[in-house]
């Protein structure tokens, strides 16, 4: 027998499921989750999104029904994203000003049907522009015009708040947009409406399926993805990301978000150490799609890798997780 017997045996706390549960440090709960949903104009059945198995573009009646199911599961919030019809798109996002915009109608309908469900509305112009960028282009169409974009974003945010959004969520990454939106909301008597800032949003390759879902992936079918690196963050820069996020805090954000989640857990953890604001992380469409793809090929255990990915995001410091797995995961816990 080995003469050395360790006094500290860490495996004692791993011996049975009961003790493992007692000493578990991190847990994902239904209350931590936010379900992203896509809404479209028209009627009929929800349209499947090919690159996002199990996800749909919902016409308004089906969206309201789905939000009722989500609320019944105990999920506290949904994030709504519109697919804007091509006929309503132009270079400057004029459809933002239309009261019958499908996003505003969706917010009103869901709030009326599910008043206790927290509604988060995206603030960006990519669903509305025919070029697919998150803002208005400069005169030479070589870049996004930061300050001109702010004027439209503030109008979009105020209209979303008036339609029933509890949080507006600027995802555009323009400089100064949180301060501008906070000022506009307060001036329009929406001081109670919060701002969930996409505070550290990276110019990531993980957004492809989302852009398909909302129809903003490119201005020309078959063209390469749009380069958004003049406003979204460089994936190599953690310090810059933290500085951006802390600036949003100073400008009046009520909560901060890191996007994508899984590839940027280091940013999430660093930001958790630097702010006391609530932190969100967005497990984006590409993360969702790759888990489904690997599981379909039987390379990974679907349930195990899904649950581990959510646990890792929570462990890194997220208070809330936007994930396409939310409703599915919550239903399994019921």
Of 294 and 213, which is predicted with more confidence?
A: 294
Going from N- to C-terminal start, the domains of the chain cover 28-333
pLDDT at 141: 86
C-alpha–C-alpha distance, residues 309 and 244, integer Å: 25
177 contacts 183 by C-beta, under 8 angstroms: no
Q: Which two tokens stand for residue 46?
A: 């929800």
CB proximity list for 262: less than 8 A, separation 6 or greater:
283, 287, 309, 312, 313
Give the ranges where the chain is alpha helix by DSSP (H). 17-23, 60-72, 102-113, 146-163, 177-187, 208-214, 238-251, 265-274, 285-296, 302-316, 326-333
pTM of the model: 0.95
Looking at the chain, the whole-number percentage of residues with pLDDT higher than 90 is 90
Q: Which one of 89, 201, 228, 314 is the catalytic residue?
A: 201
Query: Which residues are registered as beta bridge partners of 196?
Result: 255
Class of domain 28-333: alpha beta
228 a catalytic residue: no
201 a catalytic residue: yes
Among 238, 222, 156, CA closest to 190:
156
Which band of pLDDT confidence, cut at 50, 70 and 90, is reported for residue 7? confident
Which band of pLDDT confidence, cut at 50, 70 and 90, is reported for residue 48? very high
Query: Checking phi first, is residue 274 left (phi over 0); if not, alpha (psi -120 to 50) or beta?
Result: alpha
C-alpha–C-alpha distance, residues 12 and 9, integer Å: 6
Q: Which two tokens stand for residue 118?
A: 């927290």
Q: Which one of 89, 228, 259, 314 is the catalytic residue?
A: 259
């Amino acid at each position: 027998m080995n003469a050395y017997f360790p006094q500290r045996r860490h495996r004692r706390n791993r011996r049975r499921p009961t003790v493992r549960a007692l000493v578990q440090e991190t847990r994902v709960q239904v209350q931590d989750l936010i379900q992203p949903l896509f809404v479209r104009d028209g009627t009929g059945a929800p349209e499947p999104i090919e690159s996002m198995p199990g996800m749909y573009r919902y016409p308004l009646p089906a969206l309201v029904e789905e939000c009722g199911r989500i609320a019944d599961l105990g999920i506290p919030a949904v994030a709504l994203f519109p697919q804007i019809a091509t006929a309503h798109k132009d270079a400057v996002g004029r459809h933002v000003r239309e009261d019958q915009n499908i996003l505003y109608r969706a917010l009103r309908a869901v709030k009326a049907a599910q008043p206790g469900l927290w509604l988060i509305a995206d603030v960006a112009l990519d669903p509305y522009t025919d070029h697919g960028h998150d803002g208005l282009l400069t005169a030479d169409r070589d870049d996004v015009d930061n300050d001109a974009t702010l004027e439209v974003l503030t109008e979009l945010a105020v209209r979303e708040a008036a339609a029933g959004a509890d949080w507006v969520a600027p995802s555009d990454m323009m400089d100064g947009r949180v301060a501008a939106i906070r000022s506009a909301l307060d001036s329009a008597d929406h001081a109670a409406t919060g701002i969930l800032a996409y505070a550290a949003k990276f110019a990531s390759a993980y957004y492809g399926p989302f852009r398909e879902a909302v129809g903003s992936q490119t201005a020309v079918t078959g063209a390469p993805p749009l380069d958004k690196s003049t406003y979204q963050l460089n994936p190599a820069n953690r310090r810059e990301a933290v500085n951006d996020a802390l600036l949003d805090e100073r400008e009046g954000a009520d909560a901060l978000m890191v996007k994508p989640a899984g590839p940027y857990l280091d940013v999430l953890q660093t930001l958790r150490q630097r702010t006391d604001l609530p932190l969100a992380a967005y497990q984006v469409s590409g993360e969702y799609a790759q888990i489904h793809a690997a599981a379909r090929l039987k390379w990974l255990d679907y349930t195990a890798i899904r649950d581990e990915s959510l646990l890792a995001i929570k462990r890194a410091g997220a208070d809330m997780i936007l994930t396409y797995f939310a409703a599915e995961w919550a239903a399994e816990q019921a």
